[in-house]
Amino acid sequence: MRTRVVPFLKKLREEIIASFQTLESEANFQRDPWDYHAGEGGGEIGLIRGGKAFEKAAVNFSEVSGTTFPGSDGKGPFFATGVSLITHMQNPHSPTVHFNIRYIETPEKSWFGGGYDLTPMGFSYEEDTQHFHEVAKESLDQIDPVLYPEFSQNAKEYFYIPHRKKERGVGGIFFDHYFTGDWDKDFLMWETVGTTFLDAIMPIYEKRIHVPYSQSEKEVQWKLRGHYAEFNLAYDRGTKFGFLSGGNPEAILCSMPPVATW
């Protein structure tokens, strides 16, 4: 199973980095490999800063194994691998996007998780939201029409900021501990989520990175980024898993915006 999962993740990551780089003329992705000191394996941070399109963006890969699954009372080996990315755009009219797909094995079971969601930073366009969701729906409907409604609702519930009493953004799809008993079908669904992500986000970025903006609109973006940071530090399970598993703090905290205000 790992021999199918890991090569797919590595190939997908390179495709995403290459696609993002086509938007950027002033900065390049920098690679920073790291070792997993709590077990075996490691990963690589792919980070871009100070660009014309991307104020900060990270496209990371990890492949780790250890003796005790994080958050579990029982002891036993685990294997976890995934690609995770976040973008924080220069242009306030360009939304932040988050994407993650992961695969985890323990002695008892294996499962898939992931999804992608869109967070406008104060400037939401209905046509962008509609496009983002349509790509997700059309791709998942080809596999099973019940998936998009379920995953979309999951995203609404998961990406909710209780103390702000609002969703983090305009939604997307989210699933975790996904295992139906048919590994090949589950892998196909997971693979489809990965391969259609760029279809969901690139047309939006190609259009919005060129919209004129003012300093006051930039300040609105900074304020909404603060809400984003609050969610990631207080509620995000991926952040918690990364710290509990002894992951690289720099890779885990790549999701934090470069500038935010409260």
Which residues participate in catalysis according to the annotation? 98
DSSP 70: T
What gap in Å lies between CA 173 and CA 98, rounded to an integer?
Answer: 11
What gap in Å lies between CA 43 and CA 247, rounded to an integer?
Answer: 9
What gap in Å lies between CA 202 and CA 192, rounded to an integer?
Answer: 16
DSSP 253: G
| Helix 147-158 × helix 126-141 angle, to 10° | 130
What gap in Å lies between CA 219 and CA 21, rounded to an integer?
Answer: 26
Instruction: Record the tokens describing residue 151, joined without a space.
Output: 């995953």
What gap in Å lies between CA 140 and CA 147, rounded to an integer?
Answer: 6
Strands (E), 67-129: 78-89, 96-105, 110-119
Q: Which residue has the tokens 């059309």?
A: 138
Burial class (CB in 10 A: 0-12, 13-18, 19+), 147: buried
Distances 82 to 11, 169, 196, 212, 245 between C-alpha atoms, Å = 12, 23, 16, 36, 14
What gap in Å lies between CA 243 and CA 262, rounded to an integer?
Answer: 25
